[in-house]
Amino acid sequence: MKKHMIIISTIAISIVLFGCAGKDTKPATEETKEAVAATEATEPVGLANPWKYGVTAEDVKNLVNREFPVSDGASEVSYGIMESEKLAEMDFVLNGKHYTARMEPSKEFKDISGLYYEWDAEGVDIINGAEAQIRIAFVDNISNILWNDGEMMYSVYTPYGDRDGHDLMAVVKGMYDPAEAAETEKTGTEGYDMYGYVVDKLPTDKYYNHYNVKGDNDEIFICNYNGNDELKEGTYVGMWQIGDGWTLEVIDDDGNSTAEKAVITDENGITVTDMELTINTPETCCFEFSLNNPGGRDLTFDITKLRLENYDGTKLDPFGKENGPLDASAKTERHSYTMDKGNLKGGDEVSVYYEDRYVSSIFVKGGPVSSMDDTEEIENFFAGVDLDEYTKMVMEKAKEEEEKNPVVLEKKDSSKDVNPLEDGLFITSDNVECRSLKLSCPGDVFNFGMGLYNDTGSDKTFDQTKFVIEKEEGVYVNPFVFEEVREPEVVKGDTKRLWMAYSIYNPKDLKTGDEVSVYYDGVFITKLTVEK
């Protein structure tokens, strides 16, 4: 596992250094296949297309004596064969992205991808014990992986690649190396951190601010350092992984950090550090961050890829109309944006996402806090409580209540309480709007949350217990176990945003990434994916 991280880190760094220099050559997507077929139709007899499409998995197995593994969740699976070369191909769609896999019986390593690019970055990894070659072409976002297991040559590519091949590698290992893929999912690679010592600085003619660091597991990692000091051999550092790259902070003799932690690094090596969210007026707050360009090159930073989300699921927009590319040519520059405060309070925890990937949390400074000192009250309550015993008691109580009030789903086509809402999900007959739903597992407990809106001028009720979460046919997840939350919620007449969240005590083996169906009063509302 650690070896995989080192290799990918190297790839990420090569991408920064080599730039984009690919040929304008298109991959063999469905569009290009159709174009090829159309061209071949006009050519003389004898130059017929050697590929035969619309064949079956059985035809593939008969030709190459092996079946293609199919990813869980894959759709639009189709096959093709080239009998003269004993070459087989499988196209499929996974999570909205197209992939093409090929295989050919061969004891020798060769390129069977059918792709012709001047590759911008290359690296290696291991798939089922065999060395795999990873190739990246920026011009068409192509990622391609080739490997040979001693009997069969394989190729998988996608025109929806990332800039280091990590996403494609995850798909490939899920298909061909499920044991390692499961281990990766179990242990995780994102956010992994450790400590180590600087071994040496990499040559300045190839790298800027990059060091070889010996980690606490005795492996050597290539890491980026965003500080101003020149690190020396033996400097004690903290290391953490951002995406597939490693970043350093210097640790002093007392074990304290002496550099700001970089929480975002884009594909050009630009980092975002020292983020702050401060309430500065009764109606507004200020989002600030430092943008660092270690090489001082003429680059821009795409702030549209950065987003904020309050702990209750509220999306925050710090940029508004100022969402164009941000000049990032300065080595370090502070940026500030003013946005509506919304429902933020001092002390709220706000999640930071980059390219829809969670990278860090920041806490709101300034402004009013809750009307009562909830934190102190909670701390006093738990001060003399055995948490293990308390948790056991709560779970037993939840089980009793769920047995007394089992969830029943009577599916319907319509209901007076479910009417479509243009800018959200649905509106009830009492004119309470349900504008958002979220199913998440931020820690050990699953939460089901909803955002409600009411501007009728009078208090209304919303019966949240009419929600049923269907994990699969006949398996229901119940977030409304205890009697005290079984009464409909009161939504004030001037409520612009009311977020309610409920703990799920029996998640029925749900896990992050699972998709569930949500019903209200028996009517299907939407599908949700379990978030972190």
Q: Which two tokens stand for residue 127?
A: 């798939």
Q: Could you read off the pLDDT of 3-16 as tens digits, one per residue? A: 222 222 222 323 22
pLDDT of residue 382: 57
Alpha-carbon distance values, 201 to 3, 13, 18, 441 (Å)? 20, 14, 19, 41
Contact 100, 90 (CB under 8 A): yes
Whole-angstrom Cα Rg for the chain: 27
- Edge-to-edge strands of the sheet including 262-265? 262-265, 271-279, 284-292, 332-340
Using CB atoms within 10 A of its CB, is residue 492 exposed (0-12), middle (13-18) or buried (19+)? middle
Strands (E), 284-371: 284-292, 300-301, 306-310, 315-316, 326-327, 332-340, 349-354, 357-363
Residue 102 pLDDT: 97
Three-state secondary-structure class, residue 337: strand
Task: Indicate left, alpha or beta for 165 from its phi (over 0: left) and psi (-120 to 50: alpha).
Answer: left
Residues listed for the chain: 532
According to DSSP, the residues that pair with 519 across neighbouring strands are 468, 524
3-class SS of residue 387:
helix
Put the strands of the sheet holding 152-158 in their side by side order.
52-55, 75-82, 87-94, 97-105, 152-158, 142-148, 130-137, 121-127
Q: Which helix (H) or strand (E) holds 15?
A: helix 2-18
pLDDT of residue 196: 82
- The first and second tokens of residue 16, run together, are 């920064």
Question: What pLDDT was estimated at residue 258?
Answer: 54
Give the DSSP letter string of 431-482.
Answer: --EEEEEEEE-SSSSEEEEEEEEE-SSS-EEE-GGGEEEEEETTEEE-S--S
| pLDDT averages per 10-residue partition of the chain, 532 residues | 27 28 38 42 53 93 94 91 94 90 94 87 79 82 90 92 75 82 48 74 73 83 77 82 69 54 72 83 83 77 88 81 82 83 81 80 68 50 66 77 81 92 86 88 78 86 91 87 69 77 83 90 92 76
**pLDDT the model gives residue 152:** 94
Q: What would the pLDDT profile of 74-101 be if each residue is shown by its tens digit?
A: 999 999 999 999 999 999 999 888 999 9
Other beta carbons within 10 angstroms of residue 329's beta carbon come to 14
Residue 53: count of CB within 10 angstroms of its CB: 13
